[in-house]
Amino acid sequence: MYRKVLVAGATAAAIVGAGGTALALTGDNGSSSNSSTTAATAPAAGHAKGKGKGRLLRHLSHAQIVTRNKTGFVTHDLIKGTVTDVSATSITVEAADKTSETFVVNGDTKVRERTKGKGAPSSIDKVSKGDSVFVAGTGTTTLTAKHVVDVKK
């Protein structure tokens, strides 16, 4: 029984850590009132043991976490994969396990481009079909992208 609780706790910590790491990669400074910054304050499970922030994120396919803010609960969806469709108003990403998610893109969506380990602000019109991306968004029935990180080689 104790082992099951320990494994469940470690799994939850790993998921929250992945969200925190992902949000840190986007360059979010935490000034937003959105609760997506809540996950950014939790240390990544691998980082706490000195293994580095990006280790868990490199293995992430997709995840869903729920946080609580002042007004209630917020569901966050994370996915890392290949862009299968993109427009000015939406992005569809397919993960390595063939899970596909479509997110609404709007004026609040922050897009960043990472090239050779360096991040810089970008825009959705620079994201192309076939690009490797990480998307973090919120929503329950309709997902809205909060952060898109386009990883250029």
Domains of the chain (ranges; CATH) run 2-152 (2.40.50.320)
Split the chain (153 residues) into runs of 10 and give each run's mean pLDDT: 42 47 41 36 40 70 94 95 98 97 98 92 97 95 96 82
| In contact, 120 and 151? CB cutoff 8 Å | no
Residue type, 69: N
- Please tell me the predicted confidence (pLDDT) of residue 51: 53
* Cα–Cα distance, 66 to 111 (Å, whole number): 22
Strand partners, 98: none
3-state class of 135 per DSSP? strand
pLDDT score for 91:
98
User: What is residue 122's predicted lDDT score, i.e. its pLDDT?
Assistant: 96
DSSP state of 43: P
Q: What is the pLDDT of residue 95?
A: 97
Average pLDDT, the chain: 76
110-115/144-152 β-pairing: parallel
pLDDT for position 54: 65
